[in-house]
């Protein structure tokens, strides 16, 4: 038996005042036609990263509208997660492919986990490459299967995608964030669904400014001086070293500025601690650079406080699956500066709701512009929040999944 994840309860009705009654009614109409459908989400971990955050909202909302949804986590040891982290990076363009032994490890863990998947599901959704081979081993355990890709595979390592493709191309349906991410060789049935954030989750719910100040102040941040902040995993693609470099350029013009790099360490990310340590080394004990993670008691409320309090929020990714921290930051009404990569441009109208940049120097220039013109920052924040409300909140994401389930059903799965 795979490990079940306890997700709690959520009510769709609680979102009505945020997203509007029209969308809520559309979801209810779709759900009526799918009532009682058994849906299983499978992923590699229940902690850290955007996939788990999405599922902690999506699964209970599916249950609230009448589906019988569950979330289970596959089993893996360090050798498996080392291999899948390498695979993750290679699929995003890293030149290093898995060794033959690592591919064998990945396949054998998939085969072992496949035996533990229970029978009788209407739909199984397999999230990301770690468990991607499950369908090939036990296709009869569900009437419909979906592979959900959360990473940018627009320019993958050719050897890696060639080895993975036979396991993903025959899924009855697949979901990608963007059309640009769909690798050549997928056998149709591709669906484009952008992810979303939960506006009622502790990380995104409205936080009074005084509460945000109080929380941020507990981490030795000077509340009366400007703050730049990036919230992300400690990962080469998130470029925290580049953020530090941009901050140092800003500091030459605004000596009072501070920087907070806030991230969580995920259980399936063995390289995370190495890169965290590299980030600390690059900061070189500079007192105005604060590098924090979940082992410093930084949880969802603290992340919310940092994003709500920051004078400018940065996401200087060099590659990005989607980057939901962008929607999270903009939802707080904060001015945003981020890398013009992956799904970030989908969430930001450059010059209207934030700025898109390609270099350290551009990042520093835009941050300076915002810090020197608070009214510009407020304008960017207001425009951005409304755009996120319309396009990137979890009820819309639920609706898109229900539409996909209807499509699977009408195609006879």
Residue 193 pLDDT more than 80?
A: yes
Nearest to 76 by CA among 266, 275, 264: 266
Distance of CA 343 to the CA centre of its chain: 10
**CB–CB of 164/132 below 8 Å?**
yes
The average pLDDT across 122-150 equals 97
The superfamily CATH assigns to domain 209-391 is Glycogen Phosphorylase B; (3.40.50.2000)
Residue 205 pLDDT more than 70?
A: yes
* CA angle 114–118–123, rounded 5-degree value: 90
Token reading at 65? 């509208």
The average pLDDT across 372-380 equals 96
* Cα pseudo-dihedral 207, 211, 213, 214, rounded to 10: -150
CA gap 62, 58 in Å, rounded: 6
CA gap 375, 383 in Å, rounded: 12
Q: Give the pLDDT band (50/70/90) at residue 268.
A: low
CA gap 292, 305 in Å, rounded: 13
Q: Is the pTM of this model over 0.85?
A: yes
- pLDDT tens string 34-55: 999 999 999 999 986 778 889 9
Token reading at 4? 């079940």
Query: Exposed, middle or buried, 267 (CB in 10 Å: 0-12/13-18/19+)?
Result: middle
Spell out a b/e string for 145-182, using b for 16 or more CB atoms within 10 Å of the CB, else e. Answer: bbbbbbbbbbebbeebbebbbebbbbbbbbbbbbeebb
Taking residue 330's Cβ as centre, other Cβ atoms within 10 Å add up to 29
- pLDDT tens string 319-331: 887 888 899 999 9
Tell me the pLDDT of the chain averaged across its residues. Answer: 94
First vs last Cα of the chain: how many Å apart? 25
Could you give phi then psi for residue 184, rounded to 5 degrees? Answer: -65, 135
Going across the sheet that includes 173-176, the strands are 3-4, 68-73, 38-43, 121-127, 142-148, 173-176, 190-192
CA gap 388, 329 in Å, rounded: 10
Percent of the chain exceeding pLDDT 90 equals 85
Distance of CA 273 to the CA centre of its chain: 19
Q: What is the reported pLDDT for 132?
A: 98
Per-domain boundaries in the chain: 3-196+393-410, 209-391
Could you give phi then psi for residue 192, rounded to 5 degrees? Answer: -105, 110
Token reading at 5? 């994840």
- pLDDT tens string 60-101: 999 999 999 999 999 999 999 999 999 999 998 899 999 999
Spell out a b/e string for 62-74, using b for 16 or more CB atoms within 10 Å of the CB, else e. Answer: bbbbebebbbbbb
The answer to whether the 3-196+393-410 and 209-391 domains have the same CATH topology is: yes
Nearest to 33 by CA among 122, 119, 141, 142: 122
Q: What is the reported pLDDT for 272?
A: 80
Token reading at 8? 């709690």
Q: Give the pLDDT band (50/70/90) at residue 413.
A: very low
CA gap 322, 53 in Å, rounded: 13
3-state secondary structure of 191: strand
CA gap 31, 29 in Å, rounded: 6
Q: What is the reported pLDDT for 336?
A: 97
Strand partners for 159: none
Kindly indicate whether the domain formed by 3-196+393-410 is annotated with CATH number 1.10.10.10.
Answer: no
**CB–CB of 228/247 below 8 Å?**
yes
Query: Exposed, middle or buried, 139 (CB in 10 Å: 0-12/13-18/19+)?
Result: middle
The average pLDDT across 22-45 equals 97
The average pLDDT across 356-361 equals 98
Q: What is the reported pLDDT for 228?
A: 98
Residue 106 pLDDT more than 90?
A: yes
Run of H or E residues at 396: helix 394-410
CA gap 258, 269 in Å, rounded: 28
Distance of CA 373 to the CA centre of its chain: 30
CA gap 82, 105 in Å, rounded: 10
- pLDDT tens string 165-192: 999 999 999 999 999 999 999 977 899 9
The average pLDDT across 388-407 equals 97
DSSP type of residue 140 = G
């Amino acid at each position: 038996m795979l490990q079940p994840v306890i997700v709690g309860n959520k009510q769709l009705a609680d979102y009505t005042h945020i997203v509007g009654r029209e969308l809520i009614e559309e979801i209810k109409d779709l759900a009526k036609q799918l009532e009682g459908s058994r849906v299983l989400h499978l992923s590699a971990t229940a902690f850290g990263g955007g996939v788990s955050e999405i599922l902690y909202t999506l699964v209970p909302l599916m249950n609230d509208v009448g589906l019988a949804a569950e979330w289970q986590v596959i089993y893996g040891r360090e050798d498996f997660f080392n291999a899948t982290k390498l695979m993750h990076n290679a699929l995003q363009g890293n030149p290093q492919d898995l060794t033959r032994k690592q591919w064998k490890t990945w396949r054998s863990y998939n085969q072992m986990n496949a035996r533990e998947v229970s029978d009788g599901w209407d739909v199984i959704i397999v999230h990301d490459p770690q468990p991607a081979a499950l369908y090939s081993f036990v296709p009869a355990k569900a009437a419909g299967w979906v592979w959900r890709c959360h990473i940018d595979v627009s320019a993958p390592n050719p050897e890696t995608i060639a080895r993975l493709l036979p396991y993903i191309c025959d899924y009855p349906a697949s979901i990608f964030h963007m059309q640009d991410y769909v690798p050549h060789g997928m056998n149709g049935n591709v669906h484009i669904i952008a992810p979303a954030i939960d506006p009622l989750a502790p990380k995104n719910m409205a936080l009074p400014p005084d509460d945000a100040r109080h929380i941020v102040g507990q981490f030795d941040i000077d509340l009366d001086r400007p703050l730049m902040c990036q919230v992300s995993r400690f990962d080469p693609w998130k470029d925290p070293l580049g953020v530090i470099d941009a901050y140092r350029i800003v500091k030459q013009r605004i000596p009072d500025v501070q920087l907070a790099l806030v991230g969580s360490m995920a259980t399936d990310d063995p390289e995370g601690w190495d890169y965290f340590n590299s980030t600390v080394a690059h900061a070189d004990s500079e007192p105005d650079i604060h590098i924090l993670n979940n082992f410093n008691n930084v949880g969802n409320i603290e992340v919310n406080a940092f994003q709500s309090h920051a004078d400018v929020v940065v996401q200087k990714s060099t590659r990005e699956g989607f980057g939901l921290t962008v929607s999270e930051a903009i939802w707080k009404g904060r001015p945003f500066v981020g890398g013009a990569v992956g799904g970030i441009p989908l969430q930001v109208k450059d010059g209207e709701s934030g700025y898109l940049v390609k270099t350290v120097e551009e990042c520093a220039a835009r941050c300076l512009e915002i810090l020197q013109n608070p009214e510009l920052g407020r304008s960017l924040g207001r425009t951005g929040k409304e755009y996120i409300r319309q396009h990137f909140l979890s009820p819309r994401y639920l609706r898109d999944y229900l539409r996909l389930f209807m499509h699977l059903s009408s195609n006879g799965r």
